[in-house]
Structure 1
Amino acid sequence: MPLPDSSGRRLLGRLREYMAGGGTTQDRLDRTVRLIAEETRSDVCSCYVMRAGEVLELFATEGLSQEAVHLTRLRVGEGLIGEIAARARPLNAPNAWDHPSFAYRPETGEDVYASLMGVPMIRGGQVIGVLAVQNRDRRPYQDIEVEALETVAMVLAELLAGTELVSRDELAPVAGNAVLPFRMEGLCLNSGAVLGTAIYHRPKVHIERLICEDPDAELQRLREALQALRRSIDELIRTHVDLSGDYREILEAYRMFADDAGWVSRISDAIRSGLTAEAAVRRVDDDMKVRMAQANDPYIRERLHDLEDLANRLLLHLTGHSPTSAQGELPDDAVLICRSLGPAELLDYPRGTVRGVLMEEGAPTMHAVIVARALDIPVIGRLEGVFTRIAPFDTLALDADNAQVFVRPSDDVRDTFLHSLATRQARQQAYLAERDLPFETRDGAPVTIMMNAGLLMDMGHLEDTGAMGVGLYRTELPFMTRPSLPDVATQTLLYQKILKQAGDRPVVFRTLDVGGDKLLPYLGDDGEDNPAMGWRSIRITLDRPAVLRAQVRALLRASAGRDLQLMFPMIADVAEFEQARRVVDAEVAREQSRGGALPSSVCVGTMLEVPALLYQFPVLLRVADFVSVGSNDLLQFLFATDRGNPRVSGRYDPLSVPVLRLLRDVREQCDAAGRPVTVCGEMAGHPLEAMALIGLGYRRLSMAAQGIGPVKQMLRSMDSGIVTNYVRTLIDRDAPNPRRALSAFARDHDITVT
């Protein structure tokens, strides 16, 4: 069956004519399978189409019994055809009968056929059918034959998309939507609230020509479009120079994908097989969408989103459009409805017109979400069925703080939402008015309130909030936005920028905390059954000491002449802390021997996240300079409860008596040893929880920027002595519901906790 290029292009040309010809869809499919069997010299060619309920129905065949057409059905995953659909990958079976997935269907009359080769028909990242050929003799199909059938299947999928057999929901506006208001819930990716108008993001680029007559001319068109694509990204980088260095680094990493030799090579190979440049881009893009759906690694999934965005941009250049012209006229309160977003796509819209984003997919660390934070655009992700439930120009009340959106809200809901927005704005103004007031309780007890940060763009909130410094700087996010490990010089420059923006405020750097749900492909990943408790955080950097040494070296150089505070994550044993501290000591000695400028002081602390460390506390406090309580992981491990799993995340309460007693004991031991202790998890950023922490004796809290205003307002409305006595009472008498009791206490004593 090997097809030379000329024969392959002839097959594609004839296929186009057959599908464009007259007759019903069934007539055209019957002619098509006969043509493919003839041109590929196969004894059988069969086309299976995906029907409702994930069932593959034999729709047309040349070589099998015609009585089996519309009778033979296979579930996805059943038989070789079902296996192809389930894996969305080709299958090459020299002896189909011996394959473990083979399922015999006597009505087809396939008894005399030994070998089978099949490929998925993919459209919009979804498998819409399977195309298969069979032969009497046992034979392995060559790679060139598999590729030829994949190309034919791609064209057939595009042509089938225009028939009644394949749903075009993704292209058509929502029809028949109920006009009643309703609510959807998802995942908050960036906080905020807005009332706006639904707009579908990025209409799909329609491809007019699928088959090329001159591959060399198509390759030249591809080269020109790639040059235009790269120039447009460079222009985005220049245009948005006002955004922070983190965002520029994301765009520059995105720009590198446009030079990815493997991506360009796959598109070029598809052109050489007989496709136009547009069709080749679409084929490679569809293949990547399938891979993305199967990838477990969130980093890989997010990078594939970047490549999908590049593919769509490349198609726009090939068809003579620009990203902005494809958007059309926009209202000035647009809420984008999308499956996902590439890192540069938000910048295609005029600044200020996009007020919110709703995603069918999405993750907190994806590049587009990081960009949305820089632009202060609220984002909700994981909204299943967002395209089928929200129509263009629907009115939306987006409440990202609570991860919910009200679709076509009633007048009452709309009025309530507008009132909430006004209250929210007034509250923000009140926080701003109190920014320069001291962080102290009503009875004069000072409390150090710090900010958590993870990107350079976060540092601007120090001024906005009046925070006294950065109590937790997560250093891993810049590592995650790069295709390779940043070197010492790159890290040094970044840390210098952070410290410069901090001014005379302290910054506590947490060393690289990756693994779990924050994977770096260049460090390797063998897959783990329980990654949250696997090879992550300090365990990785102790096993890869060169990574830790490079980061410590960069922090030392960046902190020359000022205090350096760094801490290690996920320490479970004092020996781990001592081993990591020896790395710091070795790097200090190295810089001294080289005559390098050193920090004026170096303080080395640890996160308290693993409960086992509680039973080594006296020893730990002799070697650690300070402790930061990471309440998120500590409580997750304490209660054996995955805080990211909505089924169980609400089963424990940070304000339960066991947690309050644990935190009291930690604070008392730190005070006795003269070691500063900070709570820097989510618990610190909620006013009621922060009130309880102050009642337990904590005087150092670090939280996300948006929590500082509410916590400060609570702090200045409370009397620390009265709260301390009440919290002690709750712990001593085993109160059944401390949260309810603390809420009532705050209400009775006019403490602002909302």
Structure 2
Amino acid sequence: MADQDDAQARLDQLTDIIAEETAADVCSIYLVRPSGALELSSTHGLNPEAVHNVRLSRDEGLVGLVSRRARPIAVEDAPRHPDFSYKPETGEEPFKSFVGVPILRGGRLVGVLTHQTKAIRPMTEEEIETLQTVAMLLAEIVASGDLIRAEAFSGLELRPSAPERFQGVALSPGLSRGVAVMYEPHVMSARMVAEDVEVETARLDSAISRLRAGVDQLLESGRVPMGTPSRDVLEAYRMFAHDRGWLDRLREAILSGLTAEAAVERVRNEHRARLMTARDPHFRERLHDLEDLANRLLRHLASESGRPTIERTLPEKAILIARSIGPAELLELDRARLAGVALEEGSRTSHAAIVAKALGIPMVGRVEGALDRVEDGDPIILDGEFGLLHVRPSQEVSEAYDERLKTLAKRYRTYARQREEPAVTKDGQRVELHLNAGLLVELTSLADTGAEGIGLFRTEFQFMVADTLPRLSAQEELYRAAYEAAGDKPVVFRTLDLGGDKVTPFTPATREPNPALGWRALRMGLDRPGLTRYQLRALVRAAAGRDLRVLFPMVTDVSELAAVRAILNQELAHAARHGHEQPRSVQAGIMLETPAIAFSPDACLRIADFVAVGANDLMQYFFAADRQNPRVADRYDFISPSSLRLLQSVRQACARHDKPVSVCGEIAGRPLEACVLTALGYRRLSMAASALGPVKRAIRGMDCERLGAWLASVLDEAETGEETPLRQRLIEAGESAGLPVEAVDKLGRP
């Protein structure tokens, strides 16, 4: 094959070789066109003039039957079969027996390989297995290299080429263009044909044993709590990993002459080709389970004998296509090359989305079907403003986005000009805008955005990306670096908020039916006081001579706050005894994110120095909607009478006790919601760096008194049972209610 310069000559020689080795009178290769028709692209034994001139629809002939079923078809006397379709231009009338096998690549039909003889004869199972093995090799040959570029094969659907558009949900703002990179892609082996069947069988058995052990260990570790979607997936993995039919198919593929890796690929392709055509969504879900299981098995094969799996280097402007991704996994990627992320799952308030915003990486979620229709290297446009994923975009779409990129650049220049301007409403109300951070790289945004400080520094990210507990010196170094980056601007450090979807290899985990309501954050910190003291000691030392502001998450009772303040006082006394310089001042605040405190805050406010409203968790508990569950994460709207009354009462309670209060959840970073919070009386908001420019522009354009009066009147009216959603009424009122055009026109969506 390598000696032939002409792509058609290569394919013709290949059909000659297959025919000779399998004793066929006819060997033909049909390839798929974009219309779905199958074009005769090469043949040994049929009329050569029929090549590229004969096409069969998916409903036509035995070739069409093979393509529809995505499995081999063997017929002893083809002309008598009801699906037989005679094409006189091929000259196939003398041939009786017929075998057709699908040419599958990534579970998608690329073409059909046929084998015919003049004699009426049955084909053995071994002969059919041989043709399937050949078809696997053909799939890689026809879908890569010169064949795709050859003029004779132009227009063939050797890989998806048509533009596709996926409507998802915007998780992290931004617009990017790049190339698709499949997350956890197929681990293809360079060696597909086995040299020793017994060796390959042993490799497969060993990898399956390690796969089973790994899944069992993860299930028994407690990291994946009972009743969670992740546990359901792992239970499905365990079921499939012990499925006799799946294992038999793998071993049969090896006995046909394939390596263990090629056997996994072939069985995966067969399952995928059938399940992708299923109408029942249950079968599509099982397809994802099988895909993930096959990827795990391939990684075990790749890392046998203790050899680590080779990590693929991201190309420039990589846009990751994945089912889901965790915050720690996202942090491990090469951010210099990562241009965006598209997920089949995901929610706006997931921690992966929070990390993406922190890093300024556009992210779109819920692009269902993307994993099936996108291939590595496809050109991609990712729209993090409107939640769109454009795959292989048309020229018109590309030109439209070129214009949008110019518009965005102009908008960012406007934000840059305003970064030194204060966030003051038209009627003179001053609002402080702070930055949410958790990584040192984010702190470079302080100067770029004009943020007035770090309103929330998430300390758990350092723990999530470490294999072992960070040493005291490492923690102290991080916190001191945060102080230095902030200069004379204030920094609020939130103590460890682990648990739920934020796990580490070294913190104990338990099986919990609902981790969001389980052993997490301050609850974990109080049960493991050594861990809390360790972190507070690092914070006290890093704050030497500076103002120390510590924020405690997930407070549900005043006794918890009193207990953790006592631990803080212990560490301050410890530092004094050992001659360490004391902080200039110490303030301890609460992250108000539980209804227990929101409805009865006075006891905590008597001993807390300040309050930060964690709106993400507070709203999920208030509306009983798990923010990690994409099915319910957006079932509530912050701009509703009940939630606004709750936040108004919290702000009023803080005012009674003369305690500073801020909002540092997701809602603070949306222009429309930020205007509403300002109208409710909040004067300190903390958000991701990418949100500071749009929020400042919206606040500078709003009339705070007018919007406050409008909200007050509407909230009073809501008692009478107004059915129109409050958000809709506010958007319709627009400037008459005191809203700026920017908040309504572009970002008025929930």
TM-score range, shorter chain: 0.5 to 0.7
Q: Which residue of 1 aligns with 2:731?
A: 743
- 1:404 CA drift (Å): 2.2
Report if aligned partners of 1:394, 1:408 keep a CA contact under 8 Å in 2: yes
Q: 1:306 to 1:745 in 2, by over 3 A?
A: farther
Report if aligned partners of 1:160, 1:166 keep a CA contact under 8 Å in 2: no
Q: Which residue of 1 aligns with 2:133?
A: 162
Q: Distance in 2 between matches of 1:571 and 1:535?
A: 12
**Letter aligned with residue 747 of structure 1:** E
Report if aligned partners of 2:319, 2:342 keep a CA contact under 8 Å in 1: yes
* 1:175 pairs with one of 157, 172, 176: 157
SS at structure 2 position matched to 1:526: coil
Q: Distance in 2 between matches of 1:495 and 1:615?
A: 33
Report if aligned partners of 2:537, 2:571 keep a CA contact under 8 Å in 1: yes
Report if aligned partners of 1:192, 1:377 keep a CA contact under 8 Å in 2: yes
Q: Which residue of 2 aligns with 1:437?
A: 421
What does 1:582-731 correspond to in 2, within 5 Å? 582-731=566-715
Q: Which residue of 2 aligns with 1:536?
A: 520
Q: Which residue of 2 aligns with 1:427?
A: 411
Q: 1:609 to 1:732 in 2, by over 3 A?
A: same
SS at structure 2 position matched to 1:678: strand
- 1:500 CA drift (Å): 0.8
Q: Distance in 2 between matches of 1:346 and 1:55?
A: 37
**Letter aligned with residue 730 of structure 2:** L
Report if aligned partners of 2:192, 2:262 keep a CA contact under 8 Å in 1: no
Q: 1:306 to 1:418 in 2, by over 3 A?
A: farther
Q: Distance in 1 between matches of 2:182 and 2:660?
A: 51
Report if aligned partners of 2:556, 2:594 keep a CA contact under 8 Å in 1: yes
SS at structure 2 position matched to 1:514: coil
- 1:662 CA drift (Å): 0.9
Q: 1:584 to 1:182 in 2, by over 3 A?
A: same
Q: 1:477 to 1:311 in 2, by over 3 A?
A: farther
Q: Deviations over 1:217-256 (max 9, x none)?
A: xxxxxxxxxxxxxxxxxxxxxxxxxxxxxxxxxxxxxxxx
* 2:508 pairs with one of 520, 524, 535: 524
Q: Which residue of 1 aligns with 2:461?
A: 477
Compare 398-407 and 577-586 and name the one that shifted more: 398-407
Number of aligned residues: 545
- 1:694 CA drift (Å): 0.8
Q: 1:307 to 1:671 in 2, by over 3 A?
A: farther
- 1:522 CA drift (Å): 1.6
Q: Distance in 2 between matches of 1:515 and 1:681?
A: 18
Q: Which residue of 1 aligns with 2:176?
A: 194
SS at structure 2 position matched to 1:604: strand
Q: Distance in 2 between matches of 1:365 and 1:732?
A: 30
* 1:456 pairs with one of 440, 456, 463: 440
- 1:747 CA drift (Å): 3.3
Q: Which residue of 1 aligns with 2:484?
A: 500
* TM-score normalised by structure 2 residue count: 0.61
Q: 1:305 to 1:358 in 2, by over 3 A?
A: farther
Q: Which residue of 1 aligns with 2:563?
A: 579
Q: Distance in 2 between matches of 1:488 and 1:391?
A: 45
Unaligned runs of 5+ in 2: 1-19, 25-65, 75-103, 108-128, 145-155, 200-258, 267-290
Q: Distance in 2 between matches of 1:515 and 1:425?
A: 39
Q: Distance in 2 between matches of 1:322 and 1:196?
A: 20
SS at structure 2 position matched to 1:452: strand
Q: Which residue of 1 aligns with 2:233?
A: none
The answer on 1:555 being equivalent to 2:539 is: yes
SS at structure 1 position matched to 2:545: coil
Q: Which residue of 2 aligns with 1:110?
A: none
**Letter aligned with residue 166 of structure 2:** M
Report if aligned partners of 2:179, 2:377 keep a CA contact under 8 Å in 1: yes
Q: 1:680 to 1:172 in 2, by over 3 A?
A: same
* 1:389 pairs with one of 361, 373, 388: 373
* TM-score normalised by structure 1 residue count: 0.61
- 1:444 CA drift (Å): 2.1
Q: Deviations over 1:307-340 (max 9, x none)?
A: 999997999x999x9967xx9xx8x766566789
Q: Distance in 2 between matches of 1:573 and 1:401?
A: 39
**Letter aligned with residue 621 of structure 2:** F
Q: Distance in 1 between matches of 2:716 and 2:482?
A: 44
SS at structure 1 position matched to 2:427: coil
What does 1:203-218 correspond to in 2, within 5 Å? 204-207=188-191
Report if aligned partners of 1:306, 1:343 keep a CA contact under 8 Å in 2: no
SS at structure 1 position matched to 2:698: helix
Q: 1:209 to 1:339 in 2, by over 3 A?
A: farther
Identity %: 39
- 1:537 CA drift (Å): 0.9
Q: Deviations over 1:341-376 (max 9, x none)?
A: 9879965x9x77x64455678999999999988985
**Letter aligned with residue 620 of structure 2:** Q
Q: Deviations over 1:599-619 (max 9, x none)?
A: 111100111111011343111
What does 1:207-606 correspond to in 2, within 5 Å? 207=191, 335=319, 355-358=339-342, 378-380=362-364, 383=367, 385-386=369-370, 388-390=372-374, 394-410=378-394, 412-606=396-590
Q: Distance in 2 between matches of 1:433 and 1:448?
A: 18
Q: 1:322 to 1:481 in 2, by over 3 A?
A: closer
**Letter aligned with residue 673 of structure 1:** H
Q: 1:124 to 1:509 in 2, by over 3 A?
A: farther
Q: Deviations over 1:408-429 (max 9, x none)?
A: 4455544443332222221111
Q: Distance in 1 between matches of 2:717 and 2:349?
A: 43
Report if aligned partners of 1:574, 1:616 keep a CA contact under 8 Å in 2: no
Report if aligned partners of 1:451, 1:704 keep a CA contact under 8 Å in 2: yes
Q: Distance in 1 between matches of 2:582 and 2:297?
A: 42
Q: 1:556 to 1:421 in 2, by over 3 A?
A: same
Compare 399-408 and 649-658 and name the one that shifted more: 399-408
Report if aligned partners of 1:442, 1:718 keep a CA contact under 8 Å in 2: yes
Q: Distance in 2 between matches of 1:311 and 1:368?
A: 29
- 1:392 CA drift (Å): 6.3
CA RMSD of aligned residues (A): 5.4
Report if aligned partners of 1:343, 1:367 keep a CA contact under 8 Å in 2: no
Report if aligned partners of 2:651, 2:682 keep a CA contact under 8 Å in 1: yes
Q: Deviations over 1:375-427 (max 9, x none)?
A: 85545466554354235665433213443212344555444433322222211
Q: 1:396 to 1:363 in 2, by over 3 A?
A: same
Q: Distance in 2 between matches of 1:345 and 1:311?
A: 23
Q: Distance in 2 between matches of 1:540 and 1:620?
A: 19
Unaligned runs of 5+ in 1: 1-20, 26-50, 60-122, 127-157, 216-278, 287-300
Q: Distance in 2 between matches of 1:576 and 1:170?
A: 65
